Amino acid sequence: MLCLGGSLDIYTPPEQHCEPLRRAVERAGGTQFRSVRWPTDHFLSDYRLKTSETVLEFLKS
């Protein structure tokens, strides 16, 4: 599972959606969780190319 977040996101901060999800996956015994956080907003406005590259890299792995 890949969870992308922006540290400047005022709508769904990573602490409120990526971290609880990561903990739940780990409690269930899951090991395939990757969380990525960039210094950007909810829409990943200035990280769209990086977001695409990260998703592509994740899917290839």
- Return d(Cα 13, Cα 34) in angstroms, integer: 16
The model's pTM is 0.82
So what's the pLDDT on residue 36?
A: 96
Q: What is the pLDDT of residue 42?
A: 94
Band (27; pLDDT cuts 50, 70, 90): very high
Percent of the chain predicted with pLDDT > 90: 97
Query: Looking at residue 37, what is its pLDDT?
Result: 95
Buried residues in 5-33 as b, exposed as e (16+ CB within 10 A):
bbeebeeebbeeebeeebeeeeeeeeeee
